[in-house]
Each structure stands twice: as structure tokens, then as C-alpha cells.
Amino acid sequence: MSKEIPLQQLKIKENRILLLNNMDIYSVRDLVLHFPYRYEIIEATPLIDNEKVIIEGVLVDEPKLFYKGRLSRLTFSILYQGETYRVTIFNRHFLKKNMHNGMTLTVIGKYSQKNHSITASDVKLKPLNELSGVTPVYSLKEGITQKSFQGYVKKALAFYHNHIQDQVPISLMVKHHLIHKELALNLIHFPSNKKDIIEALRYLKYEEFLRFQLTMQYIKLSRKENIGIKKEFDHQLLNDFIKKLPFKLTEDQVKTTKEILTDLQKETVMYRFVQGDVGSGKTVVGAIGLYANYLSGYQGALMAPTEILANQHYQSLIKLFVDTNVEIALLTGHLSNAKKQDIYDRLQSGKIDIVVGTHALFQEKVNYNKLGLVITDEQHRFGVKQRKALKEKGKQVDFMVMSATPIPRTLAISLYGDMDVSTIKTMPAGRKPVITKVIKSSSMRPILKDLKNYLASGGQCYVVCPLVSESEALNSRDATSIYQAMKSYFQGHYEVGLLHGQMDDETKDEIMARFKENQIQILVSTTVIEVGVDVSNANWMVIYNAERFGLSQIHQLRGRIGRGSQQGYCFLLTNSSLSDALKRLEFLESCNDGFEVSYYDLKMRGPGDVLGDQQSGLPVFLVADIFEDANILEISRNDAIELLHSKSNDPAYLRLIKEIEEQLTVNNKYID
């Protein structure tokens, strides 16, 4: 199906073409690919009291017509499965003249068992099997009717008649009993029954996933062909380092560490996605990788999405590497120019072994001496371009992404198919799950007494709001006014601080430091505290307008508390009366597993919202659904791997690969 054929070719009128353009339909192909979003299906239903029913019956009396003013009522009786039912329909007086005793007709309406009657919304003067069974319904903009749109699609399909080629290799068509693409496209628009729709979707979903999986595997394979650097390091030194850590690694930390070390020693470039629940201990795993990389004679970079987090990682690494000779530096945007220049110089000369920082790490001025490993934390906040820029600072740099929005392993393997996936599920011993409670209130009043008791016992509390200031407010509480209210309420007793993303970095760091040192007891903030910050004495968290946050986000937030030996409590305030919103939040009361939370969240809100739209690099699928069609997603992955290795000569396969190559060049999607 060629892409660029303009709609004019179909002899559609110019003013109509403009309307179609409004719907992002510019070519004949776009028209064919604008699928119905649902179907109206007329098929017999059982008679269930008070439900919508569709039945075929025989007319057994003379219809009676009554008028009241301009309104009319038509009543008649039908025989259905040996019994008669009274049917009433309003304002269809014109039906009467074509109705005659003994004819078969179809009644659509609401059944009342008590009255043995049907109040009809429609009466068709035909037997059921003569009614066009399935009517597609399109999402359309004003000015175009369903009927005219169907006409355009019909023209478009006729235009392509016999010219639509299968995109699925013949062996797989046979293996999965798929119908041809041309038929699938015809049936998706003009099905005569449910089976047609199912068959059409089977082809289209499979093709969509296969193309995606082939792309992923293609990228992966071409990377493997890039010879990387085989890193060699002293295993004894590395083991000593691991033994000296302040804790014993969990089972999954050990497993992930091994996977990373194996990758580093391989000749291919590492491309690993490490996902773990908040608090599962990803940082130390990254640190071990950085140490191995250092021992092999290379520099490492750890990139964090915010200054607060970069700073914290820096502090953690300083502690972890205290007994070593590793030289660590922190590079962020707000350092003085002189300090930056000093770091640039020492990076270039190779005096710095590991640099931690924000996006400042890949600015043009930064040159590395021998960059060997790049780790980015909280992956979804960085675009592909930024990661690429950092990787290009060295040659065949090994690459690792740490993500704190974990998703089920099978899904991760499928969606991040171009990377190898490590999963850290086991939590460090002794972690108590945070106790979470939904409070149906827009204010803190119901828990104020408990909060005061908690503060009196010496604890600290986070208060999280969806917005910074009132001007943004849409019925939501903002951090600034909550801060002011709490400040005056607790005046003379407790110190209240305010933290949000619009503050400059120095102020943010200062507030955070004061909270860490318990000079501030209540920290009112936006989600800037979401990632990373570690204050073990803060074990309460109150979240205002919790319904405005994603579940994974709340899970991240509550990961800030209960990090020491203390029990953490998280209160979700909401005045939402929507039962869906409440149900979502209540899920967090019973579930503390980040994998399950994100899965539930993904299902309810979709991957774009949860993982951060385009930046996540997650594909948008037109027909297939990663949850409903999870089995096809997995099957197509295996097929794609097999296909790529088979070096098939199938014309459909060759066409697909050519398309994928073109697309990758255009979008510059390669990281290497």
C-alpha cells in the first residue's frame, strides 16, 4: 500500500477533503487505516427482564395507531417462541402502512416481563437474517456522516483492489492461520458478522506486533554486530569491595550484578535495562558496575534527572567508595564556571574516575578521557536523544538504565525488547511495608491529632500537593497555601518548609539539607521529592488530592518513608466522589508491590501516562493492546527472533525489513 497517494485520486470533493484533513487523513492509505472504533451488531438476544433485547417475531394482529397531539403510538402483537408479546413504539406511524398480518419482523427494545411487553426503540420490517448484521462506527469530526465516510473507505479499498500485499511472511501466515491483509482491511471496515471482525483483528494485531518486535530485535542484533570493548578487571579487588559493603546483597542484587559483570566482559556493547521497586537497592548494583568499569581502566558516568537526586547519588557513591582510590566528582548546572571548568579539565585528563550529574554531563564542553560506562537513573525522564548524546562521549560505551517504574518481566522484555532486562524483586531484609490509608477529605483535619502525636514523638512529615501555587489551581490544594496555613498553625512548635520545582537549585538544596538535619519537621512540597531523597527520620507522608496522581507516582512517593527501622504511614487525601478514583487509590492500601502497582496503573491509564509518553520510547499501537493481546505480543517476539536469524528470503519479510531500516534511518533511533 503506497503511502503518498492523495485523496484527490478518489474523486472526493475538495471541501470534503478539507474535512478529512481535519481528522489527519491526507492520503488514501490514511483513509484505509482509519478503523472503526466500535461496531453496532444486530443479533438475536435472549429475553431478559428490563434489558435491551433484539428478537424476530411474526405479526399476529392488526397494528393500532393512536395520536396525542403530534405524538403517535403504534401497538401490535408478535408471536415469538410460541408466545405472544405486546409491542409499543412511539412516533413511527409511517410503519403501519407496510405492516401486514403474518409477516416476520425484528423488534429492538426493552423487555418487561411483568407486562409481557416490549417498548421498542426500533422495529425493522424484515427478518433478522436480512438485516445488515454489523455496522461500523467511526470516530469522525463534524461535517462527515458515518454513511459518507463508509463511502470514502469503500472507494479507497476499491482503489487498492488486488494491490495490498501481506506484511507477514507466508510461513507465519500459515502457522497462525491468518487471512490476507487485503481481506483483513476489507473485513475490518465491512464485516458481515463478529467472526469477520475477529479474523481481521487477528491479522492486523499480529502484523502490528510483529513489525514492532522485528524493529526491536533488529536494533538489538545490529548492536551486537558492533564490536564493543571486552573489559578485564581484577575479580579479587571487586569481591573485596562487595564484601566490605555495609550490607549483604539480596538474591536479585547478586543476580543482576552478575548479569552486568558478564556484559562488561563481553565483546559486545552492554545495553541493559535494570528495573526494581523503589528501595530495592539499584544504586549499589550500579556502583559495583562502575567499580568494575574503573578497575578495567575506564571512566564512568551516572546521570540523574534532578539535582537533588544527583547530589544524593554522589553522597552514596562517596560512602560506598570510601576505602578505594576512586576519584568521584559531582557535575550539575549550577556550579560556578570555575568549578565546572575544573571538572571538565579533570575529566579530560582522566583524573576523575566517576562523574555523577544531571544533563550537564553531556554538554558539548564535556570531554571524557576514556568513558566506558554510562548509567542513567529513572530512565523515563530522559529522552533517547539525551542518552545518545552522553553515550557518544566515548567509544562503544556500555550502557545501563535503571528504572523505578517496574513492569512485569514478560512485558518489559517485550516492550524494551532492544535491551536486556534485569529485574530486582527481592527487597532488602527487614523492610516494613508502608501502611497506606485513603482519607475521604480535602483537608488534613481527620488526621491532625495523630499528626501532632507523631510530631511530638520526634518524627518528621512530608506533605505533598499536586500544584505549586494557587494560580494553577483547579479545585486542587497548592503547596504554597498549604505551607502558609501549616506554618501559622504550627508556629512556635514546629518548623515548616516549602520545596518545589520552580525554586532555584540552591534554595532547594538548602531546604532539603535542613529537612535532613531535622531543622524542618514538616516539608510541604510538590512531587520534586518523588525520586531518591533519603531522610530516615521522616516516616509520615500526607498527599493532598491524591486522585490527581498516578498510582506508580504515589508508590514512588511513599517509597520515601519507612526506609529505616520505623514504620511508615502514608495518608491519601481525596474528596473525589468518583468510584473509579477511589477504587484506584484503595488499591494502594492493599498492595505494596511496585510491579503490581504499575501493572494496575498501566491497565487503568495506559503506558503513555504511566511511563511518560514519547520519552519512554514506548510504541503506540493502533489496533493491538499490550494487555489484552499480551499473548500475541509474546508470540510475535519469538517469531521475530526466529525470522531475523533465519535470514529468510520471503518477499514480505524483505519488504518489512527494508521499511524498518528506512524508518530507523529517518528517526535516527539508534543509540549506538
> Could you list the residues that contact ligand ADP (CB under 6 A)?
247-250, 253, 276, 278-284, 404, 428, 534
Neighbours of 456 (CB within 10 A): 10
| Closer residue to ligand ADP (CB): 276 or 612 | 276
Dihedral, CA of residue 552, residue 554, residue 557 and residue 559, to nearest 10: -70
279 vs 305, which CB is nearer to ligand ADP?
279
Of 107 and 400, which has the nearer Cβ to ligand ADP? 400
Rounded Cα gap, residues 650 and 168, in angstroms = 9
Measured from the CB atom, is 169 or 276 closer to ligand ADP? 276
Q: Which residue's CB is nearer to ligand ADP, number 54 or number 404?
A: 404
The angle at the Cα of 570, spanning 569 to 573, to the nearest 5 degrees, equals: 140
H or E stretch at 439: strand 435-440
Describe the crossing of helices 551-558 and 579-590 by its angle, rounded to 10 degrees. Answer: 40
Gap between the terminal Cα atoms of the chain: 32
Q: Which helix (H) or strand (E) holds 401?
A: strand 398-403
Q: Partners of 461 in the beta sheet?
A: 522, 540
3-class SS at 400?
Answer: strand
Shortest Cβ 426–ligand ADP spacing (Å): 9
Q: Shortest gap between Cβ of 407 and ligand ADP (angstroms)?
A: 15
Nearer to ligand ADP, 416 or 483 (CB): 416
**Rounded Cα–Cα distance for residues 336 and 491 (Å):** 37
* CB atoms near residue 398 (< 10 Å): 27
Could you tell me the smallest distance in angstroms from the CB atom of residue 299 to ligand ADP? 22
Instruction: Give whichever of 184 and 404 is closer to ligand ADP, judged by the CB atom.
Output: 404
Alpha-carbon distance 558 to 550, whole Å?
A: 12
The rounded distance, in Å, linking the Cα atoms of 347 and 330 is 11
What's the min distance (Å) between Cβ of 561 and ligand ADP?
A: 12
Sheet holding 435-440, edge to edge: 435-440, 569-574, 538-543, 460-464, 522-525, 496-499
Q: Which residues pair with 89 in a beta bridge?
A: 74
- Min separation Cβ 365 and ligand ADP, Å: 29
CB 406 within 8 A of CB 427: no
Provide the minimum distance between the beta carbon of 589 and ligand ADP in the complex, in angstroms, as a whole number. 21
In the DSSP assignment, the letter for residue 176 is T
CB of 308 to ligand ADP, least distance (A): 13
Contact status, residue 28 vs residue 39, Cβ threshold 8 Å: no
Output 229 or 611, the one with its CB closest to ligand ADP: 611
Report the residue number, 5 or 284, with the smaller CB distance to ligand ADP: 284
Q: How far is the CB of 427 from ligand ADP (least distance, A)?
A: 9
Rounded least distance, CB 281 to ligand ADP, Å:
3
The nearer residue to ligand ADP, 253 or 332, going by C-beta atoms, is 253
**Residue 405 in 3-state DSSP?**
coil
In the bound complex, what is the minimum distance in angstroms from residue 533's beta carbon to ligand ADP? 10
What is the rounded distance in angstroms from the CA atom of residue 109 to the CA atom of residue 592?
Answer: 47
Report the residue number whose CB is nearest to ligand ADP.
281
Q: Which is nearer to ligand ADP, 427 or 624 (CB)?
A: 427
CA distance 162 to 180: 11
**Grid cell in block for residue 109:** 427494545
Q: Say how far apart CA 373 and CA 478 lie, in whole Å.
A: 41
Closest distance of CB 284 from ligand ADP, Å: 5
In angstroms, the CA 79 to CA 61 distance is 10
For the CB of residue 591, give the shortest distance to ligand ADP in the complex, in Å: 17
Alpha-carbon distances, residue 371 vs 82, 361, 394 (angstroms) = 84, 12, 5
Which residue, 253 or 574, has its beta carbon nearer to ligand ADP? 253
